[in-house]
Chain A
Amino acid sequence: MAALEIQDLRKSFVDPAGRPALVVDIPQFAIDTGEQVGLAGTSGSGKTTLLHLIAGILQADSGRIRVAGLDMTGVAGLVRDRIRAQHIGYIFQTFNLLQGYTALENVELGMMFGRGLDSAYARRLLDRVGLGDRLHYRPRQLSVGQQQRVAVARALANHPDLVLADEPTGNLDARHSLRALELIQEICRETGAALLLVSHDQAVLSAFQRVEDLQTRNCAAASGQPAQEAAAPPHATASTGGS
């Protein structure tokens, strides 16, 4: 059973001028169980949109996404929420830690919405990423590298089948970023989770045996859509979007 299967996936947004702009158009893409894939994507290749679609945060216009054999498309939001909580771990470029909560609580909250609270496992995960002595620190009290590792531990909290990582090392310097990458790869291997990591950094991508280029996979990006529009994250096109 594949960790991820994508078929004929399409997603477009309405640009400020009111025209629909195709952002994602992927005919076929798959990741095997436990497989680790580096996805090369410059800004403008629709990478964040793709990850949001896989995670069920966004709804596809058409096509099919299956995560661990479960349909993410054509199902209710509630079902997507449950699949996301139980089968997907998400590492954000900005980490998206909950500021008011300790490192341990951040991991535990992920569990509470997923497969259920297992405090011992949360502690073991944080210990595994080297934060065993920082369990009760708030994100603000941690360095950027440490925050990133909390995010890694949280992504693994629910024994996901698939870990999505969006430029997870984008906020780290070169030396830290390779060590962080190593940690993510190791921990996914240990838990048996497949990994889909998006990066524009060649040094990061070279650590993967399988590297795919989103530019070629995503017909929307390759078909000459203006980079600005194609890259536009949803909030830029939403009517209430800010900057």
Chain B
Amino acid sequence: MLKFILRRIGVSALVLLGASFLMYMLVINSGDPLKDLRESNAQNREQLMAQRAELLRLDDSPLERYWDWLSGVLGCFTGNCDLGVTINGVQVLGLTQQAAASSLRLITLATLLAIVVGVALGILTAIRQYSGFDYTITFSAFLFFSLPVFWAATLLKEYAAIQYNNWIAVGQYAPWTIVIAAAVVGFVLQAVLGGSTRRRLVTAGSAFAFVAVVMFVFNALNWWREPTFGLAGVLVVSGAAGVLVTALVTGLRNRRVLYAALTTTVVGVVAYLAFAPLLVNQPSWLLLAGLFVLTLLVSAGIGAAWGGFSRRQAVLVTLVTGVITSLLVVGDILIANWASFLGLKSRPISTIGSQTPNFTGDFWERVLDMGTQIILPTVLLTLVSVATHSRYTRSSMLETLNQDYVRTARSKGLSEREVIVKHAFRNALIPITTIVAFDFAALIGGAVITEQVFGWKGMGALFQDGLNAVDPAPVMAFFLVTGVAAVLMNLVADLAYAALDPRIRR
């Protein structure tokens, strides 16, 4: 295995080297770096052009320039990285770190969401093939996939930012909004759950009633401006999540695992009570990270203790439940801070930027600020990726569902859950892994437009500004990051194959 990894890395390094040479040559020949000066009417234009030519070393041979760049990059292995300076005299290394940090923040969340939502939708549509739900998702997937990003961004900004901000100033649903929203939820739910006409009607009717009542209660409580969730909310929702995860992984008949999940939930809520003063009074990222690790350890412990013969599954379930519970705890604190956040920032969703300039809130309010700023670009990136993920998952899932061994599994009397989760889904995951890994690498490069329209200076801006100025240093830095990301993600995909498919491990 190690030999395989090393060989892969070696080959990738060679590919990167060749590609970097090609890229460098393409960039320096992509235009005229003196263009703006040629159009200038400054008196000392010639001098300025000579100065620029010296800065960019236009008179040296391309090979020399490439070698210089390469030796700067190779310096990274010996601790003195030099990625060069931009046409504006700024160190590219620092610039790249900032850009990569901001891009990764944007992309990580979008990718995770896209994987979860996309794969889930793919499975559901595969199971309900040719149903109304399937057609709706297929239609939306193609719609979102073909959306011009800048246009979708404009719409998002108009409705999810400007109109939402206008609305949140009051925070009350109009009666017709309640009716329409409830009707839509009812319709979608009956389409997803399916069944006989009668069952569909019951589903739709009860969903309609439930949503309408909830929205009415929200109105009455002025929930959108002063929301609360509370300990009870955390307990109920994480408990439900625990039951759901158990149902998916082992089935509810495995009581040990179910109890393990529920124990995790209870322990999580108790821990929330215990740590609440700390979380409210001295919050920090370090504390959150520490508590998260603690959560993982405790959850795994609970799973192992309850697990018995199904220890592995129990640990998996408690880990997932633990993570969900901790997210809910953070969510609860954020919700509790929403009212004071609205006091600081009356229009919570901005159309640009990754944070409000000079925002002066406490820790949780700052988290909310960054959270509200990241929503729109994340939604946009997610929509596009969800479309691809769901389509690939659907076809891959359909293919496995039609395999002989799935029919065998069904005919030997396994429950539908076991057939789908254990036998079909796991095998369907193999091709999806490749897509997801590639997608992550591609997203870094593909977020160029999203970053631009939402005013994030990330890798996209680095690439674009560099290329516009025919300035190789930042473009090559972009290439380094995306190239290395692509190589790494491919490696991860290979390793994931091995984990998913025992045949590959040999």
Is B one of A's binding partners? no
- Interface positions of B (Cβ within 8 A of A): none
